[in-house]
Amino acid sequence: MTVRVSVFWLPNTEVKMTDRPILIAGRHGQLATCLRDLAAMRGLPAVALGRRELNLENREGIRKLIGSIAPSAIINTAAYTAVDQAESEPAKVFSINRDGAAALADVAWQMNVPLIHLSTDYVFDGTKLDAYEESDIPAPLNVYGASKLAGEAAVLAAHPLATVIRCSWIYSPYGGNFVRTMLRLSKTQPMVRVVGDQHGNPTYACDLAEAVLRIAERSVTGDRRTTAGIFHLAGQGEASWYDFAQAIFDELSRRGARIPALEAITTEEFPTAARRPRNSRLDSSKAERVFGIRLGPWRHSLEACLDQLVGGETDVEGNRAGWRKRNAPLSDHARGQQAAAPDL
Farthest-apart Cα atoms in the chain, separation: 56
Contact 176, 338 (CB under 8 A): yes
Closest Cα partner for 301 from 231, 249, 236, 246?
236
Q: What is the DSSP letter of 91?
A: H
* Cβ burial, residue 15 (10 Å; 0-12/13-18/19+): middle
Count of CB atoms situated within 10 Å of the CB of 316:
5
Distance, C-alpha 206 to centroid of its chain:
9
| 3 state DSSP class of 283 | coil
144 is catalytic: yes
Give me the DSSP letters along 9-40. E-SS------SSPEEEE-SSSHHHHHHHHHHH
Strand 261-265 vs strand 203-204: parallel, antiparallel, or unpaired?
Answer: unpaired
Give CA–CA dist 109/62, Å, rounded.
Answer: 13
Give me the DSSP letters along 95-130. IIIIIIHHHHHHHHHHTT--EEEEEEGGGS-S--SS
Closest Cα partner for 148 from 202, 86, 205?
86
Q: One of 144, 171, 174, 242 is an active-site residue; which one? A: 144
| 3 state DSSP class of 191 | strand
Give CA–CA dist 156/162, Å, rounded.
Answer: 6
Give me the DSSP letters along 121-174. GGGS-S--SSPBPTTSPP--SSHHHHHHHHHHHHHHHH-TT-EEEEE-SEE-SS
The catalytic site residues sit at 144
